[in-house]
């Protein structure tokens, strides 16, 4: 039973990361490829399978043997009972797609699937900022806002694996339109796409995005906006002020709901957390119960971009353990 490794796949909107992860959660090797997320579902499955095979080949070359299990993290809500993707905001071709079954057919072995935000949370729980904790709220601020909940040392899945959509709690009932269609979700304020919209709303109508806020390719970049805010740019500062305020409103609700010992905030936008911390903490202090607030620490995520791969591998390890227990 000792030795061996798990394969974790993290399918993002643009990148597919595929890695070999040891039984104790150490990332042994990592492969990056374009996600081809907008391709037909069959192409995506073939792409995942090809990358898993490339990783297992390389692992074999390094004397690691065969994988003990494979876990795949995909964006958007899953039905974990049926193994289908019910809807993914970023992969339009996947509606009611039987992902698990198709991957198992392509890979000739059992595959565990998990929502990408849950996989990220599990990575941070296994080896990152939430290691050894039992009551944790994890928020990842990326293109969208995802989340994961650890209760009693286990991830909360809900009745069909769709729990943890922390980006879609309402923080402003008549607020900005969210990509999910609703108004005033946390994601509409604290994600990269939400923050871009906050900037656009502050520009003159039809005005182009200022070069100050764009990267070398001319695309809006939160990182650039954060640089401008650090240099006291008033527009940039007001945007992070607002994003931090709504982040705080949501975190205060989570503290009152869960009485967590830890709140972990990660994702690309969390690089700007120092700019959001003051308005965030102001709302939390106003809204969270003092006794619960006294028990919680708010920290940055620790694993960076690899948490999803590690968490996907954890999902595979957990599923194997369940299978072993059932036998």
Is 123 near a second copy (CB under 8 A)?
no
205 HSE (CA, 13 A, CB side): 0
Shortest CB 234 distance to a second copy, Å: 23
Of the two residues 216 and 290, which places its CB atom closer to a second copy in the complex?
290
- Strand ordering across the sheet containing 5-11: 27-34, 15-22, 5-11, 67-74, 111-115
Total residues at interface with a second copy (CB under 8 A):
50
Shortest CB 101 distance to a second copy, Å: 18
Q: Are strands 5-11 and 15-22 parallel, antiparallel or unpaired?
A: antiparallel
Handedness of CA 309, 310, 316, 322 (dihedral sign): negative
Query: What is the H or E stretch that residue 15 is in?
Result: strand 15-22
Is 297 near a second copy (CB under 8 A)?
no
Of the two residues 62 and 285, which places its CB atom closer to a second copy in the complex?
285
Of the two residues 46 and 160, which places its CB atom closer to a second copy in the complex?
160
Which listed residue (105, 256, 300, 322) binds a second copy by CB under 8 A? 256
Distance CA 187, CA 278 (A): 19
Is 46 near a second copy (CB under 8 A)?
no
- Among the candidate windows 30-38, 55-63, 79-87, 230-238, which touches a second copy by CB under 8 A? 79-87
Is 241 near a second copy (CB under 8 A)?
no
Distance CA 216, CA 218 (A): 5
For 180, which DSSP code? T
Shortest CB 239 distance to a second copy, Å: 17
Q: Concatenate the DSSP letters of all residues of 235-246 into one string.
A: HHHHHHHHHHHH
Which listed residue (292, 299, 302, 305) binds a second copy by CB under 8 A? 292
Distance CA 158, CA 155 (A): 9
Residue 197 — left, alpha, or beta (φ > 0 → left; ψ -120 to 50 → alpha)? alpha
Of the two residues 258 and 314, which places its CB atom closer to a second copy in the complex?
258
Shortest CB 215 distance to a second copy, Å: 32
Is 325 near a second copy (CB under 8 A)?
no
Of the two residues 63 and 294, which places its CB atom closer to a second copy in the complex?
294
Distance CA 59, CA 19 (A): 10
Is 61 near a second copy (CB under 8 A)?
no
Is 244 near a second copy (CB under 8 A)?
no
Contact 146, 116 (CB under 8 A): yes
Residues 131-190 close enough to bind a second copy by CB under 8 A? 134-135, 149, 151-152, 154, 156-166, 168-173, 180-183, 185
Is 208 near a second copy (CB under 8 A)?
no
Is 93 near a second copy (CB under 8 A)?
no
Q: Are strands 136-141 and 145-151 parallel, antiparallel or unpaired?
A: antiparallel
For 289, which DSSP code? -
What burial class does residue 277 get, using C-beta atoms within 10 Å of its C-beta: 0-12 exposed, 13-18 middle, 19+ buried?
middle
In the complex, the residues that contact a second copy under the rule CB under 8 A are 77, 79, 86-87, 134-135, 149, 151-152, 154, 156-166, 168-173, 180-183, 185, 245, 249, 252-253, 256-261, 286-287, 289-292, 295-296
């Amino acid at each position: 039973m000792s030795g061996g490794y798990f394969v974790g796949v993290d399918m993002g909107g643009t990148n597919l990361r595929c890695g070999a992860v040891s039984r104790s959660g150490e990332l042994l090797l990592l492969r990056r490829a374009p996600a081809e997320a907008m391709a037909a579902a069959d192409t995506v499955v073939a792409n995942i399978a090809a990358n898993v095979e490339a990783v297992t080949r390389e692992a074999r070359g390094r004397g690691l043997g065969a994988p003990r299990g494979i876990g795949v993290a995909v964006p958007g809500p899953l039905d974990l009972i049926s193994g289908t993707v019910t809807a993914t905001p970023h992969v339009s071709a996947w509606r009611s797609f039987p992902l698990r079954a198709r991957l198992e057919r392509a890979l000739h072995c059992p595959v565990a699937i998990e929502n990408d935000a849950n996989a990220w949370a599990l990575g941070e729980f296994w080896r990152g900022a939430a290691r050894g904790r039992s009551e944790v709220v994890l928020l990842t601020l990326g293109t969208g806002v995802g989340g994961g909940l650890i209760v009693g040392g286990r991830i909360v899945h809900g009745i069909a694996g769709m729990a943890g959509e922390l980006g879609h709690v309402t923080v402003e009932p008549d607020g900005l339109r969210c990509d999910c269609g609703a108004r005033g979700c946390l994601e509409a304020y604290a994600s990269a796409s939400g923050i871009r919209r906050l900037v656009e709303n502050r520009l003159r109508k039809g005005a182009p995005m200022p070069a100050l806020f764009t990267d070398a390719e001319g695309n809006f970049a939160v990182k650039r906006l954060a640089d401008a805010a650090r240099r006291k740019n008033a527009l940039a500062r007001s945007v992070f002020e607002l994003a931090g305020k709504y982040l705080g409103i949501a975190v205060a609700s989570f503290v009152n709901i869960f009485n967590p010992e830890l709140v972990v905030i990660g994702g690309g936008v969390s690089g700007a957390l120092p700019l959001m911390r003051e308005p965030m903490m102001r709302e939390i202090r106003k809204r969270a119960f003092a006794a619960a607030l006294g028990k919680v620490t708010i920290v940055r995520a620790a694993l960076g971009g690899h948490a999803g791969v590690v968490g996907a591998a954890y999902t595979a390890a957990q599923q194997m353990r369940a299978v072993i227990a059932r036998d």
